[in-house]
Structure 1
Amino acid sequence: MASRFELVAVPRWQYDENYLMLLDSLEAALPLAKTSDLSNEPLARRIFGLSEGLIGEIVTIVTKAAIAAIRSGTERISKANIDALRYVPISQRRNSPLRQSLL
């Protein structure tokens, strides 16, 4: 199966205007009752740091935070909401305490 598809490297996002526009686009697609202002610098930097600039990680973090916001009734994503996810960046997953406890 792996040989059926050609691998294509996807460059990491940079923390710049394009990244902030990506966050605005993601926010516009979220079914939240309140605005989260994901492109606000503290929140945008937190998402960027956790995602390490990887598009899949950015989308996963925003999606998980949106689900948590809906479940909590806050209906908006905040930095505290993202911190509560206890999201482990991909570069740290191999040695994460959760992974080690499962081994």
Structure 2
Amino acid sequence: MEANPKRSIFVYLMAYALKGEISLHDFKTQIATIATVGPWRPHIQMVVAILENRPMDVLRIGGNHEFVVEEERMVAEILVCCAAELIREEWDKEKKEKEENGRF
């Protein structure tokens, strides 16, 4: 299979953004300079939602799209798992605070 250079750009940019190696602003700027994002648009929206701590939006975006290409589906699944982890961490934090305050 031949490498798709545009795919590589998007995958690398998303990975760097999620790892914190580039800022949200820089990520958005880099994406804006690329003429077409095509099928990667929902993935990019999901990454932005993760970086802006909006995990429910990630689930909504993922649920609103049908990812037919295996690679796109796998990336979407990873992003949904990241969002689920953010939700779980927030739930655990709230649960701990309630326990510490005797409200659970």
Same fold (TM over 0.5): no
TM-score by length of 1: 0.33
Higher helix share: 2
TM-score, with normalisation over the residues of structure 2?
0.33
Say which one has the larger Rg.
Answer: 2
Bigger relative contact order (CA 8 A; separation at least 6): 1
